[in-house]
Each structure stands twice: as structure tokens, then as C-alpha cells.
Amino acid sequence: MELTFLGTASAIPTRYRNHTAILVKVSNRMILIDCGEATQKQLMKAEISPMKIDDIYITHLHGDHILGLPGLIQSLAFRGRTRPLNIYGPKGICELIDHIKHLGYYTIGYELVTHEIIDDDVTIYQQNDFLVKARKMKHTVPDYAYKIEELRQPKFLRSKAIELGVPPGPLFGKLQAGNPVSVDGREIQPEEVLGPPRKGVKFVFSGDTIPQESMIDFAKDVDLLIHEATFTRDIREKATENGHTVAEDAARIAKDANVEQLILTHLSNRYTDSKPLVNEAREIFENTVYAKDLMTVIIENKKPVTIKKNK
């Protein structure tokens, strides 16, 4: 799984930080989480084609997380996209996309498929090798955190299958896919020839939220937690009032959830440097960094999370 931070600023972008957006490559799909203003330009800088995006997940409907959508949707139309684009988000996302469809004069030659999330905790997408979950957080407007988790198939025990009389060939594939097969009048069950379940890599993105106990459960044992940390603890009252988290509290969540790596994001423009937030967080959770625009993160099984320098 590979993630690229396209934007890491909060309400007001800065010279070095764009509005929030994260591009995720997982399995055969390319996912965009949030789409702040100028996300298109950031995709160009990262040398990623927006035409490859399959799904967009919006955490909430504040401008710094959605104002890149109209331009992106129109540009995809101008470039001749024909395949559908899925857009997920909280209540109001359908109305928002409908307004975008009628914003100005242009023709969309592809389908915009909107999915409004109404449950507090739900799996919103799943295929054979990964799934996406959403959990409601607490912000000043409806807001969701997202978890993307790889699903690894159990190891196929070839020697065991042969021992049970299953000939190498198509029947192996059926068993690997979880289907029973019949050999000489005996039915062989998949669990007889499959090893124990194997864990896949997973990460969580918090969206904008005040600290939530439910996040500890949602992010339990993930390889990577990306949590907003808009302010430092000296202005915790302001953070809470505006529905945000301070670095210290994000670190405490990471520690209690036993995550491998914490990456903070959504920096307020009052800070010219993220070091105060990183130092504050590392008092509690050492394996912490603050995201930078165009920074790339790679998550692989049985390997530490790899953070590459921004391009």
C-alpha cells in the first residue's frame, strides 16, 4: 500500500502546505481521501494521473476538504473520462455533487456515483483483497474517519491437498477461493487445506475531530495512524471549541491503540514549523512525524512503515 500526502494544511493553505488530500494506491484501485483546493496541481507535482482515481472518500464537508472537487470533476470530463467515479461521504455529499454537476457550463461524459454514509460504524467497500471502513468522529459537522485494510488469503497447503487426494490443477484454485471440491466421492473443505488467517497491512485517517475514545478501538494495532493535530496543547481550549485535536492527545491515542507509526497532519497556519507539535507528541509516542506535502509512505507486510522524502 502506498500513500502520498497531497495537502497537509488546515483551514488556510500556506506557501508550503496545500489543503487536505491523500492519494492511496491499494491493490488494483487508486483512492483519494479528501480533495482540498488545488488538489489537481498537487497531483501534477506528484506525477500522478487523476484519470486513474477510482474512488474519492470525503471525511466532511468543510471547504478545505472539498473545494478541489469541482475542478477535478470538470477536468476529468475535459480529459475524456468514461468510467464511473465513486464518491463517498457523510450526509449532504449527494446534494453537493449534484450542485457541482450544474456549476458552470460543461458536460460530464462519465457517471458520478455518490454514496452517502449514514451509519456510525460501517464497512463501505470490500473486494477480495481489501476493505474500507468508516467510523463517525466528533467535529463541528458530521465527520468520518476511514480505515483501509488489506485482506490476505490464508496460505494454501499444497502438500496437504495432495495428501487428501486433490490433484494439482483447477481444484487447487477452487479450494484457495474458499470453495469445497469433490474428490472420489469425498468432499474436501477449504479449511482442510488452508493455513491460519494472515493479517494484512492497515491504516486509519482520522479526518477532523476532537479526541475520541472510539478512535483507539478503530485504530487498534494498525500499521499507520494519520491523525489530525491542528494545534499544540497550550491552546487545547481553542482546539476543542473548533472540533480539533492537539498533538499531545493524538499521540496518546496512538499509544493506547498500539499503532506502529503516527503521522500528524492538518497544521494550522499559525505555525511556520511543525516541530513544536512533533516534539509535544514524541513525549508520549516516539514514532511520530508531521506530514509534509508530497511525502510518500509505503506500508508492507512484516516491514516498518517507510517514509520517503517529498518530491
pLDDT at 61: 98
Give residue 193's pLDDT.
87
pLDDT in tens, 5-16: 999 999 999 999
Torsional class of 27: left (φ above 0), alpha (ψ -120 to 50), beta (otherwise): left
According to the model, what pLDDT value does residue 196 have? 82
The per-residue pLDDT for 310 is: 66
What confidence tens digit (pLDDT) does each residue in 2-42 have?
999 999 999 999 999 999 999 999 999 999 999 999 999 99
3 state SS of 9: strand
| Total residue count of the chain as it appears in this document | 311
Please give the pLDDT value at position 311: 55
Among 34, 55, 64, 249, which one carries the catalytic annotation? Answer: 64
64 catalytic residue (yes or no): yes
Distinct helix (H) and strand (E) counts, the chain: 10, 17
- In the prediction, which pLDDT does 173 show? 85
Q: How much is the pLDDT for 153?
A: 80
Global pTM reads 0.91
Contact, 31 vs 54, CB < 8 A? yes
Residue segments in the chain with a per-residue pLDDT below the cut of 50: none
| Structure confidence at residue 246 (pLDDT) | 98
3-state secondary structure 176-243: HCCCCEEECCEEECHHHCECCCEEEEEEEECCCCCCCHHHHHHCCCCCEEEEECCECHHHHHHHHHCC
